[in-house]
Amino acid sequence: MKAASLFMACTVFVGGVVVACGGANDSDVFGTPSDSSGTGVDSGTSGTSSGTSGTSGTSGTSGTSGTSGTSGTSGTSGTSGNVDAGPVGCRPSVPADCPNPNQYCKVTNCAVAGGTCTTKPVAGDGAKAVCGCNKVTYWNESLAAHDGVNVTSAAGACPKLTGVPCNTINVSCPSGLFCDLRVGGGSALCSANLSGTCWRLPANCPATAGQLSGCGGSANADCFNSCEVIRDETPAYSDVRCP
C-alpha cells in the first residue's frame, strides 16, 4: 500500500504574487521519492561536448609542370611561277579582242581572223612605203603598226585605183594624212588637175628621203625632199637629175 504523507501548505501573498510555503513528498511503493512540486532529482550533467576536431593536414604543393617546347616555324611556301598564257587570238574588226591600248590585232595580208594581240612598236622613219589594209599608204611598216594598222603583202604604196583618193582640186585626205600628188613619167605629165593617194608620214621627215622635182620648176630642176613634197601636197615628179 502507498502511504500518504500529510503535508501542510500555506499561501502568502507578497505584492500580489502567490508564493508557496512548502510541500510534501510522496513515495511510491518502492520508496522512491517523486518531486510533486516540479523540483525533482537533478539530472546528471551532460557529458562534455565532443573534442575539437584535429586540424586537417596541408596538402602538398603540386609540382610545376614543365614548359612546353616552342613549335618550329613552318617553312615558307615557294612562289608559284608565272604562267605564260601564250599569244591571245583576235580579230582585227573586234577591238575588244585586244583591250590593251598598247596592242593591236596583227594578221597576215589583211586576214579577217586568226590574228595575235601584238604590242605596237615605236615608229621609225626609214623610207619603205607599204599599203595599209585601210587603203592608206604608210611611210613604212613600223609606222602602220604603231597606228595599229595591218598591211598588205604587196610591196610599195597603195595603187591609185585602190588607195584613199585625193587630187589637186579637192585635197580631201582625213586628218593626219597628206595627199601625194607625184606623177610618173617626167614633167610632161604634170597638169593642173592631178590625182593622188593619201599618205601617213613620220612626225619628222628624214633628211635621207629621196628627191623629187617640182612641177613647173626651172629647167635646172629644183630638187626637194620627197617626204616634204608630200607633206606640202605639192605636185612633183621623179627626175633623173635629182638623187
Domain ranges of the chain: 87-119, 121-243
Give pLDDT tens digits along the chain (243 positions): 444 333 333 333 334 433 343 443 443 433 333 443 443 334 333 333 333 443 444 444 444 444 444 444 444 444 444 544 556 799 999 999 999 999 999 999 999 999 999 999 999 999 999 999 999 999 999 999 999 999 999 989 999 999 999 998 877 899 999 999 988 777 878 887 889 999 999 999 998 888 899 887 666 668 899 999 999 998 998 888 887
Q: Are 149 and 120 a contacting pair, CB within 8 Å?
A: no
Our CA angle for 128, 194, 222, nearest 5°, is 65
Exposure of 135 by Cβ count < 10 A (0-12 exposed, 13-18 middle, 19+ buried)?
middle
| CA torsion through residues 233, 236, 237, 242, sign | negative
Q: Are 92 and 112 a contacting pair, CB within 8 Å?
A: yes
Determine the pLDDT at residue 154.
92
Determine the pLDDT at residue 47.
34
